[in-house]
């Protein structure tokens, strides 16, 4: 089942999210890049925060998960990705190891010189065949304008910290969010994996398309790709709601 961006809400309450990559995040030799459509955001520099582990599992590295998310993000049209290592360094300078609020997410993005940031939580993690991974992700940044994103550091400095889930749209800079459990026991997820594998090197593996199910790392990569695609592939529901509140849909 495909997920779509929804109305703002702070992730620790429902699951968490934002974005980045390291310069060392490369696909294996011979793999064809998957282009991710970027239909509404425009040219942008995006960071990825380390994954927040809400799954109860200790079988994955949150920073490495962020590397994979950033790697998949690098294939989005018009998007430049801030190395995850820079995000980790900025968090360490703040004395924390994770993004703590929407206001913190947006301030971190600006400190990194990014237009937006992805914050995401892993809400379920079972790597055994058939694997099941739950991801909730949120994209924070400046509202898009013609030709891309525009930053306003003066306006940011005047904003109060996050006040709760009913905070007015736009003040927490939430642009899009998605939530999905990628359970490979479900036919719809298997079909998505097969489509992903056809433009990868699955045919070069003895497992064929099932490489992206039996390999923990490759399944994580598939989940990251689907998450990035959901965040960037369509205009956010929040934007449509906001437009309706002002007299009509776009």
Bridging pattern class, strands 79-81 and 44-48 = parallel
Give yes or no for a contact between 27 and 217, defined as CB atoms under 8 angstroms apart.
no
Dist CA 26 CA 22 (whole Å)? 9
Q: Is 40 helix (H, G, I), strand (E, B) or coil?
A: coil
What distance lies between CA 144 and its chain's CA centroid? 17
Bridging pattern class, strands 116-126 and 44-48 = parallel
pTM strictly above 0.85: no
Q: Is residue 2 part of a domain?
A: no
Give 134's DSSP letter.
E
Residue 100: in which H helix or E strand, if any? none
Give me the CATH number covering residue 54.
Answer: 3.40.50.10610
Alpha helices in 94-236, H assignment, sequence order: 102-111, 153-157, 187-198, 211-214, 216-232
Q: How many domains does the chain have?
A: 1
- Tell me the two tokens of residue 161: 């910290």
Q: Is residue 250 part of a domain?
A: no
Residues contacting 58, CB < 8 A, separation 6+: none
Dist CA 142 CA 139 (whole Å)? 10
DSSP-assigned states of every residue in 12-39: HHH--B-----TT--PPTTPPPPPBP-S
Q: Is residue 225 part of a domain?
A: yes
Torsion of CA 3, 66, 125, 120, to 10 degrees: -50
Residue 133, phi then psi, degrees to nearest 5? -130, 130
Task: Read off the pLDDT of residues 102-154 as tens digits, 9 standing for 90 and up.
Answer: 999 999 999 999 999 999 999 999 988 899 999 999 999 977 654 444 434 44
Give the per-residue pLDDT at 201: 63
Give the per-residue pLDDT at 32: 44
Supply the range of the domain harboring residue 192: 11-245
Give yes or no for a contact between 134 and 147, defined as CB atoms under 8 angstroms apart.
no
Q: Is residue 3 part of a domain?
A: no
Dist CA 8 CA 177 (whole Å)? 7
Q: Is residue 1 part of a domain?
A: no
Give the per-residue pLDDT at 10: 56
Q: Is residue 213 part of a domain?
A: yes
Regions in the chain scoring below 50 on pLDDT = 1-8, 13-33, 146-170, 236-250
Q: Which among 149, 139, 144, 142 has a CA at the least distance from the CA of 227?
A: 139
- Tell me the two tokens of residue 136: 């909730």
Q: Is residue 6 part of a domain?
A: no
Give the per-residue pLDDT at 60: 92
């Amino acid at each position: 089942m495909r997920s779509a961006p929804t109305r703002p809400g702070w992730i620790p309450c429902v699951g968490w999210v934002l974005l980045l990559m390291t310069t060392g995040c490369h696909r294996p030799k011979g793999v064809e890049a998957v282009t991710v459509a970027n239909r509404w955001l425009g040219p942008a520099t995006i960071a990825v925060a380390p994954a927040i582990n809400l799954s109860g599992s200790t079988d994955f590295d949150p920073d490495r998960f962020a590397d994979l998310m950033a790697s998949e993000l690098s294939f989005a049209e018009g998007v430049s990705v801030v190395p995850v290592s820079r995000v980790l360094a900025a968090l360490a300078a703040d004395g924390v190891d994770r993004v703590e609020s929407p206001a913190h997410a947006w301030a971190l993005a600006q400190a990194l010189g990014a237009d937006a940031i992805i914050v995401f939580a892993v809400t379920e993690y079972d790597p055994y065949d058939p694997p099941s991974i739950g991801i909730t992700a949120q994209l924070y940044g400046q509202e898009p304008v013609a030709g891309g994103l525009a930053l306003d550091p003066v306006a940011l400095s005047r904003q109060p910290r996050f006040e709760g889930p009913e905070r007015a749209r736009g003040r927490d800079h939430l642009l899009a969010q998605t939530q999905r459990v990628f359970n490979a026991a479900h036919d719809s997820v298997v079909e998505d994996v097969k489509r992903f594998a056809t433009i990868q090197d699955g045919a070069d593996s003895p497992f064929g398309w099932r490489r992206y199910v039996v390999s923990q790392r490759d399944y994580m990569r598939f989940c990251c790709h689907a998450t990035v695609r959901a965040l960037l592939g369509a205009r956010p529901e929040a934007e449509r709601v906001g437009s309706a509140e002002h007299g009509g849909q776009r």
